[in-house]
Structure 1
Amino acid sequence: MVSINAPAVKRLSCCLLLGFTMVVSPLTASAADNFWQNIQQKGVLRCGAATAAPYVMRDPKTQQYSGYFSELCRDFGQNVLKVKVQFVDASWDTLVAGLQSDKWDLAMGLNQTPERALAVGFSVPVQDYQISFLINKQNPKVNALGNKLADFDKEGITFAVMSGTAQDRAITAAIKQGKIMRLPGNDESRMALMARRADVLVDASDTNHLFALANPDWAAEVLPSPALAKQGVSFALPRSVSEADRDVLNIYLTQRRATGEIDQWVNKASQEANAAK
């Protein structure tokens, strides 16, 4: 019978484990470090697309995608990676899961949250989501208040908001002096502002931006300070993507934002969404 030396077995196990790690780790690191190179070799950048104006829109007749996230994905793929861009139909419930299961390479238009960051990586924000105010420029109660939240929070100012929403929760926590008018839907809250039963419409900034562009004669959007429920809206990538590869997308987005091109695409998408309505 051959005797087994326990310390020797332990040393052998450690060596085998170390050897396995040395073989596998470089391959794993290589795959993570070559995210864009792998896409370039395939020749296609797949963009997961869940529709919501003005982020991502799809023409029901032509099935063509527009919206400012679509424009960015198309421009990044064609002009930076030099590949074709394929938009893959998705829903907001499947964007993260589809990214994890390799159904697409980028997920478009996701708000940055800590819960999502446990599952996917994020680019720098393309735009900032936050709750904004919409006011009637002809209403003397609010037309000269600026953007300070404290200036709006006073007796005699009525805020219209859709009941039970994130906007409702945020404004309820922020307003102490003003009156909050909770209504069942967006149409009712907008009508309250238009009829001057309310002085301020509280809604997501992208939605208010669309409404303000559609009604330039009287509507103005205000981004309150301090910001309410502010989050970055970004591209999501697999968590395994290396920092170096993530920097490629981040540098691209930072430059496009600094030049004002993203704002131009946002306005174009908002106008297209209003025209479609």
Structure 2
Amino acid sequence: MISRRMVATAGSFAALASGTGVLSTGLIGTAAAQAPASAPAAAAGGETTFDRIKRTRKLRIGAVSGGTPYYTKDLASGEWKGFYIDLSKALAQEVEAELEINETTWGNAVLDLQSNKLDVFFGLNPTPKRALAVDFSVPVFNNAFSFITKKGLAAESWSDLNKPEIRIAVDSGSSHDGAVTRLCPNAQILRFNSADEATMALRSGRADAQCLVIILALTVMKKVPNLGTVVTPKPTFVTTSNAGFRREADKTWRDFVNVWIDYNRGLGVVRQAIVNNMKLVGVEESDFPSGLTL
């Protein structure tokens, strides 16, 4: 089992690949040549993700155009930005591989993992249903459920929103939908095909509030500053943003990324990547609710 100490000591994917647990000066190819014969065998039907990355020295990720601040693509230059792009670049550097970015959608990401088009996809909300199809990493960060409420609506707690006269807009089938269904059963829940449509319902007065995770709520408010007020009702409930992996018998790649996430989250690298990229949409660190842990 890969340990945090192993990553901290080795400092590179090459050391992990060689199984030595000490710093290796070689690249992945050198480490692969040194790998012991007892290394996990490839899963039936093909090589493991770990072995494919060693062989090709390419790390394939998925990215969603328009998924700001997670992912965003400059249509003129083709350049990708976003905090999951920054973290993916850091992961690629760690494994001494070239980063290959493949455009996908939130809906197709799981299928792309299953069909071996991607080695990892950052930004999946783990659900029991998805866990039957792909493996998940440890949480990359916590994302608190929040609301954009219309002006004049006081909503400090979930009970303030859980009332028959309150109309809450959500994007159907999302984690927002699940949270409101569970925590506001007495409210009128208005379900739309997308978060943008739910925002339009709030903007037009057809809804009193829209449920979004805090990252997205702050982003929307910077785009439409007169939309309302961002609130994170008490008690605070969170979902997590995780990485997804193709289901395979050999868990070496998943376990490595788990340690990498924990290590960089502990050092503040993940938080800094989020804060830096929220500035792309005009959100400063001071805009986050006080006491909120990412």
TM surpasses 0.5? yes
**TM-score, structure 2 as length reference:** 0.64
Alignment of 1:186-265 (within 5 A): 186-191=198-203, 200-213=209-222, 219-222=229-232, 224-225=234-235, 227=237, 230-240=238-248, 242-265=250-273
Please tell me whether the aligned partners of residues 112 and 122 of structure 1 are also in contact (alpha carbons under 8 angstroms).
Answer: yes
Letter in 1 for 2:203: M
Counterpart selection for 2:91 from 69, 76, 80: 76
Structure 1 residue 77 displacement after superposition: 0.7
Which has more helix, going by share of residues?
Answer: 1
Structure 1 residue 253 displacement after superposition: 1.2
Match of 1:8 in 2: none
Structure 1 residue 267 displacement after superposition: 3.3
Structure 1 residue 174 displacement after superposition: 2.9
Deviations 1:92-145 (A, max 9, x none): 343223222222211232221222222211111223355312357x85x638x3
Deviations 1:230-257 (A, max 9, x none): 5432211121163443222112212332
Please tell me whether the aligned partners of residues 135 and 222 of structure 1 are also in contact (alpha carbons under 8 angstroms).
Answer: no
1:150 aligns with 2:183: no
Structure 1 residue 208 displacement after superposition: 0.7
Q: Which has the larger radius of gyration?
A: 1
Counterpart selection for 1:55 from 70, 73, 77: 70
Residue segments in structure 1 that go unaligned for 5+ positions in a row: 1-25
Match of 1:11 in 2: none
Residue segments in structure 2 that go unaligned for 5+ positions in a row: 1-36, 284-294
Match of 2:121 in 1: 107
Structure 1 residue 71 displacement after superposition: 1.3
Letter in 2 for 1:234: N
Match of 1:39 in 2: 53
Match of 1:6 in 2: none
Aligned equivalents of 1:263, 1:220: Cα separation in 2: 21
How has the CA–CA distance of structure 1 residues 150 and 75 changed in structure 2, closer, same or farther, with 3 Å as cutoff? same
How has the CA–CA distance of structure 1 residues 201 and 224 changed in structure 2, closer, same or farther, with 3 Å as cutoff? farther
Aligned equivalents of 1:249, 1:73: Cα separation in 2: 11
How has the CA–CA distance of structure 1 residues 135 and 259 changed in structure 2, closer, same or farther, with 3 Å as cutoff? farther
Residue identity (%): 22
Aligned equivalents of 1:269, 1:188: Cα separation in 2: 25
User: RCO (CA 8 Å, sep 6+): is it higher in 1 or 2?
Assistant: 1
